[in-house]
Chain A
Amino acid sequence: MPKKILVVDDELDVLKVISFRLRKAGYEVITASDGQMALEVARENKPDLMLLDIRMPILDGPEVCLRIKNDESLKDIPVIFLTASGGDMVKKDKAGELKAQGFLTKPFEVQELLEAVRSFIG
């Protein structure tokens, strides 16, 4: 039974290349293109890991992360932020509060992505 990863990004192109890489690496990938949708999909599918873009319309990454961590059924899901801003938003403001497990700065190498993912779900 392959591990299930939820990838959330409003950029569909980015969503597509990341999904391709992860499927190629043998993971089951589900996607969401905004924060609201991400929460719904997460509750429905109970993924093993979330890759969460920070800058998104409606609900941004940190907000989604907060809600997940405050949801009894979802709080154990590790979250890795995808950021275009060097990860300082996570570092600076909400690192402790968000309980994010890591972050990846765009553009990242495929090796970095897979290493980060493997460090949580093998």
Chain B
Amino acid sequence: MLGFRDGKTFFYLDAEPSGSPDYSPPGEIWKKEPSELLRCFLKGEKLVAGPYQDKWGRWVTAFVPLKDFDTQQISAVLGIDMSAAKMRAYIFEYRLLGVLFTLVIFVLLVGFFIVFQLKGIASIEINKQLHFLQQLLDAIPVPVFYRDVGGAYLGCNKAFEEFIGKPKEQIIGKSVYELYPKEVSDVFRHADWQLFIKPFQRQVYETYVQRADGLRIYVVFNNAVYIDTRGDPAGVVGVIMDITERRKAEEALLLSESKFKTLFESSRDAIMLLVPEKGFISGNPATIEMFRCNDEKEFTSYSPADLSPEYQPDGLSSLIKAQQMIAIAMEKGSNYFEWIHKRRDGEEFFATVLLTRMELEGKMLLQATVRDITEHKKAQDSIKQAAEEWQHTFDSITDFIFVMDTESRIIKANEAFIKAFGGNPGNILGKKCFEVVHKSDSRFPNCPFPHTLEAKEVNTVEVDDPGLGITLLVTTSPMLDAAGNIIGVVHIAKDISELKRVQKVIQEALDMKSQFISMASHELRTPLTAIKESINIVSEEADSVLNPEQKQFLDIAKRNLDRLSRLINDILSFQKLEAHKVDFNMQSYNINEVIKEVRSTMEPLARQKGLEFSLALAENLPHISFDKDNITQVLINLINNAIKFTDKGKITVSTEKGDNTIAVAVCDTGRGIKKEDLPKLFQQFQQVGSAHERKTGGTGLGLAISKQIIGQHRGKIWAESEAGAGARFIFLLPIQERRKRVIDA
């Protein structure tokens, strides 16, 4: 049985199960030994009561006072019941172990000897109680040890074994120096001696030690001296508390404090503390710099009003307004607002201020974070300015520009649009475009909006709404967000009524020109017929009576009449082609066959001039569709030109098949064409070397007509030449898909 009590309460611990022979119910001691227990508790004396005889047998109780470490007052009494039967065994074991629990055991020994002598108890079962004491120690989770004045360990608990990393057997009897490194041992011994000088003092000190597992830990030693029966120090009892975690927490706290300090010191934002009724009490370096103060001391000598102009932009006095702002922050917890501050050198700047109420050491104060937004404000102003400029530009455009959302609602419109269609934005914005523009409840038939919305494509159409009285050329463009989704459609509508009117006038003028040329040519033909025939008749009838000179003049008249009629014919042809009034009779032919037909009429002309005429025709050309008369005309024009401009050498007509075209080339070995003249060749009445042209009797329209004919066949015609090196006229005619299939089949 083991029990102890403090001043008021009796605690009872029992190593024996209730019902065993050694079991004593709680309160038994209290009832039996009040005087001894009270004496022990009040006077601090160790004593033994008994022996007693009861139904469990004969036994004695040893009482040991337990002192509180802090107060050195007796706070408990340890009572140990010992059955007389096992006493001897205890003593025996005690001697083998050496000095253990000197004071307690000494008292016990004395007590037991007295008991043994006086009461004749042969043996007391103490072994079990010692064993239990050890178990009790072992149950304490922190390391506990006791060592003698020489520093040799007398005993310890399990936690201490683990702490040292050795079993009890290797600890007991060893000195401090054998268990710890020298420098640590020195500390311990020094502490021990300190303690021995002032026994009854509790000793608490912190140090770090290397634990058995190698971990370096911070510990607190709670040591006290235990005194032997003579009142001399017999050794040191110590409890070791691992405070590593606490230490870490302290360090972390220190670290976080230093972090916040660093944050405060290095923040680019000006952070300051403000006590509402007193003013600033602190400001970080950014604050000092922002207000251009010399140091924090100077800064804290100012009030918020000192660091502001007299009035804020809304006309309120800074002093009054600052008080209002502070009051709001104090009431609501925080307040964010814009403020004009003034630096100590007088410069004013825009700032945002965030006041946050906080409690520091029991006092309510405000933390103010002030950010200089001058640059931000400037950027904002320039954005605003850019936006205004853009708006001006938008509004000064006379075309109608408006933006619609995907539901056809107008979300933005320029002034020109607003003036023309609604008078003021309220009549326009949010309404559907057809309601505004066409005064209709449904979309205008050829509105370009749906296509742009669906295909995300730019779309341009002419919108000719008779209700509007004007013709609009409307271009719609998709407005896409960053992800490519369509969010609206921009409309640019241009009033093209005037353009249309001018176009109409031009078209009428062109028609008139065309008509005039046609009429004039016809009117010229009739008198020409009469003149020509008359001259021919005279020439034939009077052949015998005319002298050679007269005949020559009649020839001149005839030749010029021929030229005049060719010219009229060419003008008419060209005018008709240009006005697209020629109906082509498109038939499928082999171009080679047509060239061979032309050769039969043109070869004699070449030979007359002493020129060679040859063909270089590609074989197996597909049939292609063209107007035979007109293409023949082109071939004749080109070959005629070649003959005209070639004095010696040869004319070659060749064909070649390309990817989707057939190329026909007319080459000569004539004097060629200057590079700069090449582009002019196909313009009407552009004659290269007009003096020569007159001699050769051309009209200057042959190539222009040829170009019109080839162009209207969806072909291409051009010339390649270098002066002196002959010329090469090439035209391409397309091979039609349909024709190709026929050939393949």
CA distance A76 to B126 in the complex (A): 167
A20-B537 contact, Cβ under 8 Å, with A86-B572, A92-B583, A107-B532: yes
CA distance A88 to B576 in the complex (A): 11
CA distance A13 to B527 in the complex (A): 8
B542 to chain A minimum Cβ distance, whole angstroms, is 14
CA distance A118 to B515 in the complex (A): 35
Whether B628 sits at the interface, judged by CB under 8 Å, is no
B541 to chain A minimum Cβ distance, whole angstroms, is 9
**Which segment, of B439-447, B518-526, B612-620, faces chain A?**
B518-526
Whether A17 sits at the interface, judged by CB under 8 Å, is yes
Residues in chain B near residue A84, CB distance under 8 A = 521-523, 525-526, 529
CA distance A21 to B536 in the complex (A): 10
Whether B533 sits at the interface, judged by CB under 8 Å, is yes
A21-B522 contact, Cβ under 8 Å, with A86-B572, A107-B561: no
B359 to chain A minimum Cβ distance, whole angstroms, is 105
Whether B565 sits at the interface, judged by CB under 8 Å, is yes
A11-B526 contact, Cβ under 8 Å, with A18-B533, A86-B572: yes
Identity of the chain A residue whose Cβ is nearest the Cβ of B528 in the assembled complex: A107
CA distance A55 to B523 in the complex (A): 10
The residue that A106 contacts in the complex, of B518, B528, B536, B537, with Cβ under 8 A, is B528
Whether the pair A14, B518 counts as a contact (CB closer than 8 A) is no
CA distance A2 to B569 in the complex (A): 35
Contact with A along B124-153 (1 / 0, CB 8 A): 000000000000000000000000000000
CA distance A9 to B528 in the complex (A): 15
A17-B522 contact, Cβ under 8 Å, with A86-B572, A107-B528, A107-B561: no
B565 to chain A minimum Cβ distance, whole angstroms, is 5
Whether the pair B529, A17 counts as a contact (CB closer than 8 A) is yes
Whether B745 sits at the interface, judged by CB under 8 Å, is no
Whether the pair A108, B536 counts as a contact (CB closer than 8 A) is no
User: Max chain B CB contacts within 10 Å: which of A14, A16, A88?
Assistant: A14
CA distance A27 to B533 in the complex (A): 18
The residue that A110 contacts in the complex, of B528, B530, B533, with Cβ under 8 A, is B533
Residues in chain B near residue A55, CB distance under 8 A = 522
B563 to chain A minimum Cβ distance, whole angstroms, is 12
Identity of the chain A residue whose Cβ is nearest the Cβ of B582 in the assembled complex: A88
Whether A85 sits at the interface, judged by CB under 8 Å, is yes
Whether the pair B537, A21 counts as a contact (CB closer than 8 A) is yes
CA distance A18 to B534 in the complex (A): 10
Residues in chain B near residue A88, CB distance under 8 A = 576
Whether the pair B518, A17 counts as a contact (CB closer than 8 A) is no
Q: Identify which of residues 69-116 in chain A touch chain B, using a CB-to-CB cut-off of 8 Å.
A: 84-86, 88, 92, 105-108, 110
Residues in chain B near residue A16, CB distance under 8 A = 530
Identity of the chain A residue whose Cβ is nearest the Cβ of B525 in the assembled complex: A84
A91 to chain B minimum Cβ distance, whole angstroms, is 9
CA distance A64 to B364 in the complex (A): 120
By the criterion of a CB under 8 Å from any partner CB, how many residues of chain A are at the interface?
19
Whether the pair A17, B526 counts as a contact (CB closer than 8 A) is no
A41 to chain B minimum Cβ distance, whole angstroms, is 21
CA distance A106 to B529 in the complex (A): 6
Residues in chain A near residue B561, CB distance under 8 A = 107
B354 to chain A minimum Cβ distance, whole angstroms, is 90
CA distance A6 to B528 in the complex (A): 22
A24 to chain B minimum Cβ distance, whole angstroms, is 8
Identity of the chain B residue whose Cβ is nearest the Cβ of A20 in the assembled complex: B537
CA distance A18 to B528 in the complex (A): 13
Contact with B along A1-26 (1 / 0, CB 8 A): 00000000001011011101100000
Whether the pair A17, B530 counts as a contact (CB closer than 8 A) is yes
B171 to chain A minimum Cβ distance, whole angstroms, is 133
User: Max chain B CB contacts within 10 Å: which of A21, A55, A86, A106?
Assistant: A106
Identity of the chain A residue whose Cβ is nearest the Cβ of B532 in the assembled complex: A107
CA distance A88 to B582 in the complex (A): 9
Whether the pair B522, A14 counts as a contact (CB closer than 8 A) is no
The residue that A17 contacts in the complex, of B533, B565, B569, B576, with Cβ under 8 A, is B533
CA distance A95 to B529 in the complex (A): 24
Identity of the chain B residue whose Cβ is nearest the Cβ of A21 in the assembled complex: B533
Whether the pair A11, B530 counts as a contact (CB closer than 8 A) is yes
User: Max chain A CB contacts within 10 Å: which of B518, B523, B525, B527?
Assistant: B525
Residues in chain A near residue B525, CB distance under 8 A = 84-85, 105-107
User: Max chain A CB contacts within 10 Å: which of B528, B561, B573?
Assistant: B528
Q: Identify which of residues 573-624 in chain B touch chain A, using a CB-to-CB cut-off of 8 Å.
A: 573, 576, 583
CA distance A120 to B536 in the complex (A): 24
Whether the pair A106, B526 counts as a contact (CB closer than 8 A) is yes
Whether the pair B572, A107 counts as a contact (CB closer than 8 A) is no
Residues in chain A near residue B518, CB distance under 8 A = 85
Cβ contacts A to B, 13 pairs, < 8 Å: A13-B530, A17-B529, A20-B533, A84-B521, A84-B525, A85-B518, A85-B521, A85-B525, A85-B572, A106-B526, A107-B532, A108-B529, A110-B533
Top-10 shortest CB links A-B: A17-B533, A84-B525, A13-B530, A107-B529, A106-B529, A84-B522, A106-B525, A107-B528, A107-B532, A107-B565
Binding site for A on B (CB under 8 A): 518, 521-523, 525-530, 532-534, 536-537, 561, 565, 569, 572-573, 576, 583
Q: A14-B529, A17-B537, A106-B525 are in contact. List 20 more A-B contacts (CB 8 A).
A: A13-B527, A13-B534, A20-B533, A55-B522, A84-B522, A84-B525, A85-B518, A85-B525, A86-B569, A86-B572, A86-B573, A88-B576, A92-B583, A105-B525, A107-B532, A107-B533, A107-B565, A108-B529, A110-B533, A110-B536
